[in-house]
Chains A and B, each alone.
Chain A
Amino acid sequence: MIGCWGAVVVLTASALAALAAGRHGRAPSVIAAAGAVIAAGLALPSAIGSLAGAAPVELAVAWAPPIDELRIGIDPLSAFFIVPLVLLGAICGIYGAVYLDDQRTRRWLAVPACFYNLLVAAMLLVLISRDAIGFIVAWEVMTLTSYFLVAFDHTQPEVRRAGWVYLIASHLGVACVLSSFLLLGDGGFGFADIYAHPLGGASAVVAAVLALVGFGVKAGIVPLHVWLPEAHAAAPSHVSALMSGVMIKLGIYGILRTITFVGPAVPWGPILLGLGVVGALVGISLALYQRDIKRALAYSSVENIGIVLIGLGVGLWAAANGYPAIAALGLCGGLFHIWNHVIMKGLMFLGAGSLLHGAGTRDLDQMGGLVKRMPRTSALVILGTVAISALPPLNGFASEWLIYLGLTRGGIDAGPGSGLLLLFAVAAMATVGVLAVMCFVRIVGMALLGRARSDAAAQAHESGKGLVGPMAVLAVAAIAMPFLLPVLVGALAPVIEQLTGARFEAGIASDALGPLAILGIVLWVAIIVAFVAIRRLVRRRQVADTWGCGYLAPTPRMQYSGASFAEGIHRLLPRLLRARIVAQPSTELFPSPKDMQADRQDPFTRAAYEPLLDRGARRFGQLRWVQQGLLHLYILYVVLAVVVVIAIVSIRDYWVLP
């Protein structure tokens, strides 16, 4: 516990030190990165201790009234999230110091370095807060610091817009979280008080729904995900990695924390399962046709949050209905998928950053042929896409596998109604799986394979050790996780017992993971042997041009583009989820050049939020006469407001209540 508090102090101090370290030079970035690494070293032992079964700890810090004291503490649920937070925080911190280094002469790099460490500190505070007030304050600091990081390239209008969308969405979310805590904190705002005075009946349901909406915005639950593609694309890549890797998971943390507050008064299992299936399908469908690699990765995060929710949902459903084995499989799968997604999405965003660094673009149709120019980055990105497509033998498959087993076992054991729904959820997840393969083959094919699609890509340069090293660490983790999971199941036991209140049988999940480890070894060995053998088979070879089916002068622009690759599946998507394509028809015999525009804006923004907010803005515009810019008028408003409040309170106290 002291370790985590020390980590917060180190992070804040290094953030301020970075700010003070001067305008030019490497010092600010180095100080911040060192701070992030030291913080990880401080926080890890206590988090790991808590997962290993140490008793929950709580500390109280005296604070100015009206708060009086702030309580911090660590329990298995927060420790589960602290581990990936500080590890990815350190890795992305090192990467970020190198990543932004080429802007040293133009920008004051102490600012992003400072906000980065403050962001990590705020997220750590969110996780160790043990009362609602500290939690909300830390949550808000997390939102604001990440806003400043998202808006780093604020000279570009689309970045400003992305930051704006993010800020609005986050604050609508935080309003819901705040209201939820106001309901929950009936008997005091400390978490201990909330546990001691559990809500019942309708107010529990209202608090749960508010929390689900508020935390759902942060987690990127469809249809509250609209800020994700904007913000993740705009932010510097190491920040995208941290946001997508850990920050959106804090939304999940919030939901899980609420589940421990509210308990079984709300049917959490079916709700999370339903949201998960919708989120996974919608997320991957939208990822399929993006041109911007980071937008595609952001939508893939929406998908993966959906898969996490499917796992948690089936686990909670099973725990509530008396299937402990299925609960173990589902919850283990969902929780492990959180860790695995941290690894693979971190790898993918850092990889996208390296590609952006080398080729100077995020546009898939302007890349191409980068395997030759950037061999190390490309190999790591290919590994990352295999992992995130949830293919064996890498880590994404391991956690999805547990979820599959839980869902299928539930579908077999449950009665007709829920059994059928669970089995259809399996089919939905399988569909998400093939769509993910298509999505990531498209990204690899367009960005890395074939011939360079632009001059910038043809001139791309490999990134240095500072960028490739952090990616390699994550890649090793992605390779090792399937073999480590059977051991790590034990670490989940306290988390799951805290969530369900029942004893957790670790044996079921680790037994299920056994064959997977063997499958992993078989696949690795066989693929390496087959690859070496095939290289020997093609020893006698000539080199020639790609077969052009008789056409002799192909150019790189004639390659299949990202849009053409996705065209077939795009046509099969529901109308709501498609991009809006405006093309001039070609009718004359000798066609002249035509314009084609594809609007890949988020369909939910386009169809729902923008019209709604536009209408709201018009309505509120009619109230503009209230703002006259005169000080005495505003004083009058304040006086009127106070009078009205006093009037309401007096009426209530003297006439209504007695």
Chain B
Amino acid sequence: MTITDVAEAIGKVIVILAFPPFLLGVIARTKARVAGRDGPPLLQPYYDLVKLVAKDSVLSRTTTWVFLAGPAVALVAALVAAALVPIGSGRALWAFDGDFIALAYVLGLARYFTMAAALDTGSSFEGMGAAREATFACLAEPAFILGLLVLARATGSLSLSGFLGPAIVHVWSVGAASLVLVAAGLLLVLLAENSRIPVDDPNTHLELTMIHEVMILDHGGPLLGVILYGSSIKLFVFASLLVRIVIPLDHPAWLVWATFLAGLVAVAVVIGVIESAMARLRMPYVPALLLSGCLFCALALVLLVR
């Protein structure tokens, strides 16, 4: 391991830890601009996090240790997931055969404890949110896995760093149609997994219509801060996957990094535009949207393998 490798790894850790909340700022700013407002500063999510962590907490008397385990596991899982995804240039911080399965299951662990923490409050609203989260996850997961399997079959690798390494440049030249479908499918998964419109509305004011926000209704102060930070990292993870698929640049490193970060911001802008342009779907229509994501990825697989 050379000095440059170490420096790059440290750089990646810093990006993983520091950059994700910025994406939330970009989304908020985009939505404000489209609506004709100035919007909050781009760094507002950082101020929010500092403010939240400094607050006192109010805990429900129904809750137990499970309630605290929810945010803890969600944050750890998001960080581990970020270490498995190749960001910037080159490989991920930690790459091994089958890491894409580990990624899906580590996020599953986070989902388990987030839902358990919601149910720990005994509130019917939070139970409702957990049930919706679980139901929609059941439809988003096959799309996510199928999308990654397309990359596996196309590149002959079992690792995310192999999927999104130099091999993908060649895949764009022979199987572009599949990759376009996968990118579309993964964008839908990104919107669903990160509770964005049209699946979920993070800014809605009515508990009955929420999914993710209603699950964390009772988490306030530092706990809410941890959850927000963790979910921004999760958004970063999914956006990184999407960017590395869509921008198959390999070298030079500075250009790759520049396009990568620009790409992340672009994904955030796209999310902001989608959120401004359309309303949240009615709950009964969400499964159809997610199933279309599955179908995109399944079709991509058939196109690739045939």
Could you tell me if A445 and B73 are in contact, using CB atoms closer than 8 angstroms?
no
Could you tell me if B71 and A541 are in contact, using CB atoms closer than 8 angstroms?
no
Tell me if B217 counts as interface (CB < 8 A to partner A). Answer: yes
Name the contact of A568 in the complex, choosing from B126, B135, B222 (C-beta under 8 A): B135
Tell whether A544 pairs with B105 under 8 Å between CB atoms, given A522-B80, A572-B287. Answer: no
Tell me if A455 counts as interface (CB < 8 A to partner B). Answer: no
Could you tell me if B223 and A538 are in contact, using CB atoms closer than 8 angstroms?
yes
Determine the chain A residues whose CB is within 8 A of the CB of B119 once the complex forms. Answer: 441, 444-446, 449-450, 560
Task: Tell me how far the C-beta of A39 lies from the nearest C-beta in chain B, rounded to whole angstroms.
Answer: 38
Task: Tell me how far the C-beta of B78 lies from the nearest C-beta in chain A, rounded to whole angstroms.
Answer: 11
Tell me if B145 counts as interface (CB < 8 A to partner A). Answer: yes
Determine the chain A residues whose CB is within 8 A of the CB of B101 once the complex forms. Answer: 401, 404-405, 408
Tell me if A621 counts as interface (CB < 8 A to partner B). Answer: no
Alpha-carbon separation in the docked complex, A551 to B184 (Å): 42
Q: Which of A444-480 contact B (CB under 8 A)?
A: 444-446, 449-451
Tell whether A427 pairs with B64 under 8 Å between CB atoms, given A401-B98, A569-B138. Answer: no
B230: nearest chain-A partner, CB-CB = A530
Alpha-carbon separation in the docked complex, A519 to B98 (Å): 12
Could you tell me if A559 and B123 are in contact, using CB atoms closer than 8 angstroms?
yes
A544: nearest chain-B partner, CB-CB = B58
Tell me if A591 counts as interface (CB < 8 A to partner B). Answer: no
B154: nearest chain-A partner, CB-CB = A412
Tell me if A109 counts as interface (CB < 8 A to partner B). Answer: no
Contact string against A for B residues 28-70, beta-carbon threshold 8 Å, 1 for contact and 0 otherwise? 0000000000000000000000000100111111111110110
Tell me if B132 counts as interface (CB < 8 A to partner A). Answer: yes
Determine the chain A residues whose CB is within 8 A of the CB of B144 once the complex forms. Answer: 430
Question: Could you say which of B75, B104, B124, B146 has the most chain A C-beta atoms within 10 Å of its C-beta?
Answer: B124
Tell whether A416 pairs with B306 under 8 Å between CB atoms, given A426-B149, A441-B134. Answer: yes
Tell me if A598 counts as interface (CB < 8 A to partner B). Answer: no
Binds A, one of B15-23, B106-114, B243-251: B106-114
Tell whether A530 pairs with B57 under 8 Å between CB atoms, given A392-B102, A441-B116, A450-B122. Answer: no
Tell whether A534 pairs with B64 under 8 Å between CB atoms, given A445-B115, A567-B131. Answer: no
Could you tell me if B59 and A538 are in contact, using CB atoms closer than 8 angstroms?
yes
Contact string against B for A residues 167-209, beta-carbon threshold 8 Å, 1 for contact and 0 otherwise? 0000000000000000000000000000000000000000000
Could you tell me if B145 and A392 are in contact, using CB atoms closer than 8 angstroms?
no
Tell me if A433 counts as interface (CB < 8 A to partner B). Answer: yes
Could you tell me if A412 and B158 are in contact, using CB atoms closer than 8 angstroms?
yes
Could you tell me if A526 and B80 are in contact, using CB atoms closer than 8 angstroms?
yes
Could you tell me if A427 and B73 are in contact, using CB atoms closer than 8 angstroms?
no
Contact string against A for B residues 157-178, beta-carbon threshold 8 Å, 1 for contact and 0 otherwise? 0100000000000000000000
Tell me if A23 counts as interface (CB < 8 A to partner B). Answer: no
Could you tell me if B152 and A412 are in contact, using CB atoms closer than 8 angstroms?
yes
Task: Tell me how far the C-beta of A407 lies from the nearest C-beta in chain B, rounded to whole angstroms.
Answer: 10
Could you tell me if A450 and B97 are in contact, using CB atoms closer than 8 angstroms?
no
Alpha-carbon separation in the docked complex, A423 to B146 (Å): 8
- State how many residues of chain B have any CB contact under 8 Å with chain A: 77
Task: Tell me how far the C-beta of B62 lies from the nearest C-beta in chain A, rounded to whole angstroms.
Answer: 5
Could you tell me if B149 and A531 are in contact, using CB atoms closer than 8 angstroms?
no
Name the contact of A544 in the complex, choosing from B60, B145, B298, B306 (C-beta under 8 A): B60
Could you tell me if B137 and A438 are in contact, using CB atoms closer than 8 angstroms?
yes
Q: Which of A549-566 contact B (CB under 8 A)?
A: 549, 554, 556, 558-560, 564-566
Alpha-carbon separation in the docked complex, A519 to B80 (Å): 9
Could you tell me if B223 and A534 are in contact, using CB atoms closer than 8 angstroms?
yes
Tell whether A546 pairs with B71 under 8 Å between CB atoms, given A430-B145, A441-B119, A451-B62. Answer: no
Tell me if A397 counts as interface (CB < 8 A to partner B). Answer: yes
Alpha-carbon separation in the docked complex, A519 to B94 (Å): 10
Determine the chain A residues whose CB is within 8 A of the CB of B11 once the complex forms. Answer: none
Could you tell me if A419 and B305 are in contact, using CB atoms closer than 8 angstroms?
yes
Alpha-carbon separation in the docked complex, A416 to B305 (Å): 5
Could you tell me if B73 and A444 are in contact, using CB atoms closer than 8 angstroms?
no
Binds B, one of A14-22, A252-260, A382-390, A574-582: A382-390
A397: nearest chain-B partner, CB-CB = B105
Tell me if A434 counts as interface (CB < 8 A to partner B). Answer: yes
Could you tell me if A450 and B120 are in contact, using CB atoms closer than 8 angstroms?
yes
Tell me if A111 counts as interface (CB < 8 A to partner B). Answer: no
Tell whether A392 pairs with B153 under 8 Å between CB atoms, given A420-B305, A546-B123, A547-B217. Answer: no
Determine the chain A residues whose CB is within 8 A of the CB of B98 once the complex forms. Answer: 401, 404-405, 408, 512, 515
Tell me if A608 counts as interface (CB < 8 A to partner B). Answer: no
Could you tell me if A560 and B66 are in contact, using CB atoms closer than 8 angstroms?
no
Tell me if B238 counts as interface (CB < 8 A to partner A). Answer: no
Tell me if A59 counts as interface (CB < 8 A to partner B). Answer: no
Task: Tell me how far the C-beta of B32 lies from the nearest C-beta in chain A, rounded to whole angstroms.
Answer: 27
Question: Could you say which of B64, B122, B123 has the most chain A C-beta atoms within 10 Å of its C-beta?
Answer: B122
Alpha-carbon separation in the docked complex, A523 to B168 (Å): 30
B101: nearest chain-A partner, CB-CB = A404
Tell whether A572 pairs with B135 under 8 Å between CB atoms, given A412-B158, A530-B75, A559-B123. Answer: yes
Determine the chain A residues whose CB is within 8 A of the CB of B149 once the complex forms. Answer: 408, 411, 423, 426-427
Contact string against A for B residues 204-218, beta-carbon threshold 8 Å, 1 for contact and 0 otherwise? 000100000000011
Could you tell me if A526 and B130 are in contact, using CB atoms closer than 8 angstroms?
no
Contact string against B for A residues 527-548, beta-carbon threshold 8 Å, 1 for contact and 0 otherwise? 1001101110110111111111
A-B CB contact pairs (8 Å), 12 listed: A382-B66, A405-B97, A424-B301, A430-B141, A435-B138, A437-B108, A437-B111, A441-B130, A515-B102, A526-B76, A537-B223, A568-B134
Seen from chain A, the residues whose Cβ lies within 8 Å of a Cβ on chain B are 368-369, 371-372, 382, 386, 389-392, 397, 401, 404-405, 408-409, 411-412, 416, 419-420, 423-424, 426-428, 430-431, 433-435, 437-438, 440-442, 444-446, 449-451, 512, 514-516, 519, 522-523, 526-527, 530-531, 533-535, 537-538, 540-549, 554, 556, 558-560, 564-569, 572
Given contacts A419-B305, A530-B73, 10 further A-B contacts (CB under 8 A): A397-B105, A401-B98, A411-B149, A538-B57, A541-B57, A543-B61, A560-B130, A564-B127, A568-B132, A569-B134
